[in-house]
Every structure is written in C-alpha cells, then in structure tokens.
Structure 1
C-alpha cells in the first residue's frame, strides 16, 4: 500500500513538473526564436533535474524507511521490556501474598475459577473475563497490610480485629490503582465485599451501583469461603454453598449472578474446585495475564 502511494505521488509530481517545463518552453518560444540546439539543451536540463529529483527522492524514502524500521524495532524492544517489567510486578505481588499467607493464595485461585465460570455463563466478553481473573489473583493483596496476629489468628476474630480485616479492600485498592497496567481491576478489588442490599463494606453500595464484575466476584468469593475450613467451623459441601448463596439472592448477592450459579450446578462447580489444583487447566494463568498489549 505504501509503495502504491509513493508511486502515485511521484507520478503526479513528475507530470506536473514536465507540464510546467513545457508551458515555460511555449511561453518563451512565442517571444523569441529558439534554435534546435537550445531546445535540446533545455530538454536535457529538464530531464537532468527530474532525474536528480528521483535520485534524491529515492534516497530520502529509503533512508526514511530504514529509520522507521529502526524505530519500530526499538519500540518493540521497549514494549517487550515494559511487558517483562509488568509481569515481574504481578509475580512479585502474587509471591508476596503467597509468602505472607499461602491459604489466601490458594483461595484466590479457586475464586478465579468460580468467577470465570459465572462470567462465561453471563456472556461477559474475553476482555472482561481477563480483568476479572487478574482482579481475582490480586483481590486479597490488601491483606498484606493486616497484622499477622489478626490475619493468621486461628480462633474467631474479635470485633476490633474484624474491623482491621475489613480494611483490606481499601488497602488493596491503594496498592493496585497506582499501577497503570492493572488499575482497571482496582474497583473490583475495592468493592468485592459490597452486598446487593447495601449491607456490605467499605461503602455500603446497593444494587447495580456495584459494578457487575464486583457482584460476580462477591458470589465466587462466598462459594469458596463456605467450602473452605474456618477456625470456627469445618468446610461445607458445594451443595450447601450453592443453597446458601441462593437463599441470599437479592440480599447479599445479585439475583442475576445467583441464577448463573444455579445454572452451572453443584457438579460443575465441584469440578472447578478440583481443576484449579492443576495449573494447566486454568483458563487465565497468573503469568499470562499481562500481555504485549499493555
């Protein structure tokens, strides 16, 4: 396409140049007598100037093409380095969370599995699913700011300790929204503990004022919380978890999301719980969530 455009421009300029040279000759020849030798000299000069123009244009465009290739190569290398830096940042955040509390990291991978299934059932596009998965792996990053004696406590939390735990969405938001390449997940991280009836935290948002991705995430998070061991109770079955989520439709959870959980069914959700233990079965692996398009 570029070559065709260049050829068209050169043809237009050349045609204009020769037309101008001809009209100049006509204008002069009408006023004075011009010998055959002078006509040949004039024609030779016209052609010589045209050839010089072509040579200069060719050199200019070849040099410009080379510069563009070099610039493109440098931009690709810079994008690759930026991509590697982004991946490194994500891995560092995930590793920090895993080292601080491995149980939280395992919980996050299961929540991503459930959230992806609900999002797909609801027809969310690939970009939204990608964002949801990334938020899933990072949603509890704010727990880095919760003291160990509270985060790792084996017995039931005291009211003031529970208030400290409830600060983790805001802490996570403050960490993530500063990173341009993942800040589109910050709202999910901030709002995933909001309740559909307004009884959640940190802001007490209600209904559709809560982003759909955060509403999906709240359901996925609850499914895993119910089916996981807690200091004050053993893990419940997936069947029990689904029943519990359905019973809270319109209260804690978005009815639309709950319908998708019912449609997925206990068997499918139980299979997801097992599949996430095998990294090759994850739809979005943590190391693949930051891609060249960042």
Structure 2
C-alpha cells in the first residue's frame, strides 16, 4: 500500500508548513520591528533635533542673563554714586549720570534704562520720558529689589502698563538692580537688554544635534541587531517545537492506522471497509454542503468508527451464526472501547461523534444512548447510512454480499425509521457508475491522504494556528482522492 505521507499534497497541508511559516513569521516580525522602530527613531531624532537647540538656547540665555546682571551691577557701583531721589533734586548730578547712562546704553546693547526712587517714583527713563515723575506703587519687582537689595533678572513681560512701548524689540532681558548708598537700597535701576535671537542653524547647535542623532541611531542599530538574533532564536525554537509536535501527531496516527489494519486483518472479509465508508461519507457530506469542520469530523470518525472492535474476541467478531444476548452486549461494548482509545489522544477526540452515535437510529431505537432525529449529530447520521450500506454489499461470516440496487432498496426501507430521510434521499441519487468509479479510485490510490488532511486540520485547530496558516487557494475535487493540490 502506498505511503500516505507521499500523497499528502492536498489543501490541508497547513500543519506541515509550520517550519516555513515560522521562518516567514520571523522575517515578517523583523521587518515590522524595523519599520516601526525606524519611524520611532525618526520621530525621536526629529524631536531631539528641535529639543537640543531649545535646551542649548535656554542655557545660553541663562548665561546671558547672569552676564547682563553683572554688567549692570558694575555700572551702578561705578557711575551712580547718589540716590535717585538726590539726583532728582540736583539737575547737574542727574545730567552727568544721564550722560554715563547714554554711553552705557550705546555699548551695552540696551533699549531702555529707568531710574527709580525708593518711593516708586520714576526719576529717569531713556525712552518713556513722558512717565518721568510718576509713581508706580504696584511695581512688584521694584518693591522686591528694594526690600531684598538683590538684583532680579527675567525675560521681559511687555504686558506691564509701563512697558508697552518695548514690544517692538522682541525678546528682552529685564533687570532690576538696587542702587546702594551707605549700605542701604535707596533706589533701583530698571534696564532692558536685547536678548540673543534663537537660531537653529548655528555651527555648535548643528554639531551637538548631529552627535546626538548619530549616537541614537548607533544605539538603535545595536538594539535591532540584538532583537534580530533573539527573534531568530525564538523562531528556531518554535520551529523545533512544531516539528516535534508534527512528529508526535504522525506517531499517534501511525499507531491508530496500525490498529485499524490489525482489525481488518482479523476479519479479511471486512478489509477495505474503513476506506470505502470514508470515501462514501465524504461524498454524501459534500453533497449535503456541511461545513469543512464537520467534514473533518466525519472523515476521521468514519475511519476510526470500529476501532473499539480491537477489544472484541474473535469468537464473537467472526462468529458465522446468530449471536446470543451476552455476545450482542459484548459487540455493543466496542463503542465504549473505541471512545476510550481516542480520548487519550487530543486531536482524535473529534472522531467521538461518529464512534459514539453511529448506531443510533432516527426513531430512537438505536444504541448507545437512544437519541432520535436531529439530536443525533449530522456526521453520525450520514455515517449510519454509509456503514449499513457497505455492510450489505460486503461478505460477512454470517451471509453473502447483496447487489447494489438491493442494498439501496433496504436503505430506502429504513427511511424515517433507521435513517435520516434527507440523507437517504441524497443517497438514493448515487448511481452505480459513480459508486464503481469510487471503488476503483480507492483500490488504486487509497484514501490515506484524505484522512491525513483531516488530521492536519484538526491538529492545526488544536494548536491555534489556523489564522496564521496560508491555506491552499485552489479547489480540487475532494472525491478525486489522489488529485494533488496545484498550489
């Protein structure tokens, strides 16, 4: 008999593609990681390209503030020797001070210089001369400077009422420095200096950003390499695991096949029975349009339906005459023994429907549970018709085979009693020519790959990989039992 593995080129070859599928999955996983990580890296690099210049600018701006405060303090200590209130009383002294302020304004990159008395009166203003002599008691920074005797520096807020005329200068550094006379803050100088402009394309910013981006990309490349190795190791382990699972599945199935073969060898008159009922059950199941999952159950159940008879003694199984009541009980026990055999193998459990219920009858008079009508699973109802028909046209120890049409007549007589009427009607449409062609096909090629494909499907579903499988896209005739898949 031909090796069934060599013929397993059918649409149900998914589980044997696990190795190649795992490799493809690894490539897909790595490509996905690369694409997503690349865009993440690109976004992070873009953010860094903007963030670094801003950080560098803020740092330089802070240094600029400290430098401006120091310059202002030195100017006040050197050029303003009297309190602003006293300068206001002495026009000559105020004039000399203003001259010094004008020179300071020119060389210090300043846009405004105000001199305040301790009571909040504006003594002098370089630009806002119309405000001179007015008091601004709500000037908080002036009050803080006079109270603490310390210089205050911040980025200028032109929303203050006295600073509206400075908006046109853009970003300014605003400074309040105390005028110390005899150790006491007798007034303050309010000065506005042009702040450095923010520019992205300066040499040192470009250099720093380039180093940062290159460092990040180098780290990304290193991490990607580590991930690729880890992914390959993971997929290699997964492939080995799937190969082991596949081998285990084949071993289980080989054992079951051997049991079925041994059972047929015990009774040579039933040899080929399992193959014929599989083919005929599949033929009817497809004509009824039952789902693929039910077809797999039907195929496997048909193949294993009598596996429990391995435990029935030859004296009963091969007895040519009538059976006693006890012998009938022992024969009936093959259903339970068959269930015990397949229930120890997870992926064979779907065969339980046919094994358990194929002796039930449409009118409820069957065994093992006395089910009736649609309560009986569809796979068992189909197989009940096929099993009886094949038994009728085959030689048995207690009788000879009967003719095809006579067997169909007996099946028709069981319509609505033993068998499902719909299935019987479908069965009656099978012509002698079709049946003979089916028998020749079985004799020449066997049905091993058909059963194997059902096992593959069941293994695939059990392993949870059906969504990841890439099923065959062609649709060969399943009843052409040896027709290979063209995909």
TM-score normalised by L of structure 1: 0.89
5 Å-filtered alignment, 1:104-143, equals 104=270, 106-143=272-309
Separation of aligned partners in 2, 1:221 and 1:288 = 22
Q: Structure 1, residues 186-226: CA drift from partner, whole Å, max 9, x if none?
A: 22211111111111111011111111111111111111011
Partner of 1:256: 422
Give the superposition deviation at 1:252: 0.7
Partner of 1:202: 368
Partner of 1:290: 455
Match of 1:184 among 350, 363, 371: 350
RMSD: 2.5
Match of 2:439 among 270, 273, 277: 273
Partner of 2:236: 73
Q: Which runs of 5+ in 2 are unaligned?
A: 1-30, 68-195, 464-487
Moved more, 40-49 or 245-254: 40-49
5 Å-filtered alignment, 1:161-172, equals 161-172=327-338
Contact 2:296 2:455 in 1 (8 A): no
Separation of aligned partners in 2, 1:159 and 1:266 = 37
Partner of 1:13: 44
Separation of aligned partners in 2, 1:134 and 1:278 = 21
Contact 1:87 1:287 in 2 (8 A): no
Match of 1:23 among 44, 54, 57: 54
Match of 1:219 among 382, 385, 388: 385
Q: Which has the higher strand share?
A: 2
Separation of aligned partners in 2, 1:145 and 1:44 = 85
Moved more, 40-49 or 96-105: 40-49
Contact 1:195 1:206 in 2 (8 A): yes
Give the superposition deviation at 1:162: 1.0
Q: Structure 1, residues 108-159: CA drift from partner, whole Å, max 9, x if none?
A: 1111111011011111244432332122211111112222322232332212
Contact 2:306 2:335 in 1 (8 A): yes
Give the superposition deviation at 1:60: 1.2
Q: Which runs of 5+ in 1 are unaligned?
A: none
Match of 1:92 among 255, 280, 283: 255
1:159 partnered with 2:325: yes
Separation of aligned partners in 2, 1:156 and 1:271 = 34
Q: Which has the higher helix share?
A: 1
Separation of aligned partners in 2, 1:241 and 1:77 = 51
Contact 1:279 1:285 in 2 (8 A): no
What's the secondary structure of 1:154's corresponding residue? Answer: coil
What's the secondary structure of 1:236's corresponding residue? Answer: coil
Pick closer, same or farther for the CA change 1:247–1:224 going to 2, 3 Å. Answer: same
Separation of aligned partners in 2, 1:56 and 1:76 = 30
Separation of aligned partners in 2, 1:129 and 1:105 = 23
Contact 2:362 2:416 in 1 (8 A): yes
Separation of aligned partners in 2, 1:105 and 1:69 = 49
Give the superposition deviation at 1:93: 1.4
Pick closer, same or farther for the CA change 1:211–1:284 going to 2, 3 Å. Answer: farther
Separation of aligned partners in 1, 2:57 and 2:215 = 24
Separation of aligned partners in 2, 1:241 and 1:148 = 27
Separation of aligned partners in 2, 1:71 and 1:246 = 59
Q: Which has the higher Rg, Structure 1 or Structure 2?
A: 2
Partner of 2:469: none
